[in-house]
Amino acid sequence: MDEFGTADQRRQQVKDFRQQLNAVSPSFCLAKWKQVTVHLATGQTHSCHHPAPHHIPLKEIAVDVTALHNTNYKKQQREMMLAGQRPAECGYCWRVEDSDPNGEVFSDRVMKSMDSWALPHLESITTPDKVNPSYLEVSFSNTCNFKCSYCTPEASSRWLEEVKQYGPYPTSIGFNSLDWLKSQNKYPILEREVNPYVDAFWTWWPNLYPDLEVLRITGGEPLLTKNTFKVLDYVLENPRPDLELNINSNLCVPDELINKFVDVMRRIQDANAVKSFKLYTSCEAKGARAEYIRNGLNYNQWLDNCHRVLRDIPRAKLTVMSTYNALSVTSYKEFLEDMLAIRCEYSNEQERHPMSVDIPYLHWPNHQSINILSNEFLPMVADQVSYMYRNQQITHWPPLCGMGYYDYEINRMERVYRVLADHLNKNIDVSTNRKDFAIFVDEHDRRRGTNFLDTFPEMEEFYRLCKNG
């Protein structure tokens, strides 16, 4: 038995905790209080990464800088949860819970609330009032060298440049139009040299920092902004041996920035200035298919830098976030093979699990979600689940190849299968979203010099289905 217990024991622990959580309310989620993502480039916030970000009124942070987290809107959502009502913005979890009436698949409402930064606060959360988060994810800037297919101008400066040049994509929703940013007064903030939200953050920071259990810096691309290195220097000067420090990176920035980052992280680790360090990176397909989804990615460079993080930063851990989408399906098994190879190489008796794979499913934009897929793709997803089970972490040491996939990772892959199967069984009309898919890839190819059918020849029949309605 490993430190997590057997798969059956772990599953029972999650079931038991879900009962505790539901005893507060069947819609209660600690993330709404104790977790926050703050997008300072656009003045937006959300708790948990599934709900869409909402606007932080400047008048609220003028009164109290903690409104970067504790907006009046968020307090209303907390009130709903305490009353047992389901906030609409949390539909990701409601869909997961409703897709499995037997309760064998666990939503992130349960998994996040059970995490170490949330669980100790279960009994102390009784009101919707303001609170300092224990888990902070902060984005200082939208500066990024990628244009990922499902990303947005507010999160990627390259997307912003493209849409300013060509306009929105001509889908039914005008994908990535700047009109919404302009209507919400976000667009001017992206163009500002001095950002009032960044100023508010640094005012809040000395009060916030001691309460943090997890600090995660995201972007844009965090290694392209000086504020990331300002935080790292602060941590080095103000050690927090109980802090989990996490950084997001696409790992495809120039070598000099990778070198600078590895150097400062080695110094932080050598000084034991934090409890742990984890790097989050993203990929959801293999090779050229991944590079199509994540425009700007060099898959081999990305793999090399995944190795470098685990090899050159002491005690570093790596989590690969796979936002599973319609373009993931045909190469995801091969991608899982690459991830297993990395895991095997860096696992040993002292370091049992240096890397993990997280597999949320994409739910926006609709034209790239798995829900547009047709029935013939479902067996592919089933095979990916089966592959993970065939390579599941075994309970004695040493495993045959270092280590396999843990049950919680497999559970996330099962969620993808169940959500797609449930959607296909309901025979929901997705004709508009499929037409938008064809429009999107055609325009993608025109603007970026790519070729969808050369990259995904196995999807030609599906593409024709979408193209012809």
**Three-class secondary structure assignment of 283-316:** CCCCHHHHHHHEECCCHHHHHHHHHHHHHHCCCC
Q: How far apart are CA 297 and CA 291, in angstroms?
A: 5
Q: What pLDDT, on the 0 to 100 scale, is given for residue 1?
A: 33
Domain residue spans in the chain?
Answer: 1-220
- pLDDT, mean over the chain: 92
Tally of CB atoms within 10 A around 403: 25
Residue 5's pLDDT band (cuts 50, 70, 90): low
pLDDT average, residue stretch 133-143: 95
Q: What is the pLDDT of residue 191?
A: 56
> What 8-state DSSP symbol labels residue 51?
S
Verdict on whether the full-model pTM lies above 0.75: yes
Nearest to 424 by CA among 371, 363, 464: 371
CB 409 within 8 Å of CB 359: yes
Distance CA 108, CA 114 (A): 9
pLDDT of residue 2: 44
Place of tokens 């397909």: 285
Length of the chain: 469
Q: Give the list of residues 6+ apart from residue 251 with CB closer than 8 angstroms, or none.
A: 258, 279, 281, 301, 302, 305, 306, 309
The helix (run of H) or strand (run of E) holding residue 267 is helix 255-270
User: What is the three-class DSSP state of 324?
Assistant: strand
Residue 41 pLDDT level (bands cut at 50, 70, 90):
confident
* 384 CB-side CA count, 13 A: 29
The mean per-residue pLDDT over the stretch 287-299 comes to 98
Residue 190 binned pLDDT confidence (cut-offs 50, 70, 90): low
Q: Which residue has the higher pLDDT, 24 or 185?
A: 24
Asked if residue 370 has pLDDT above 60, the reply is yes
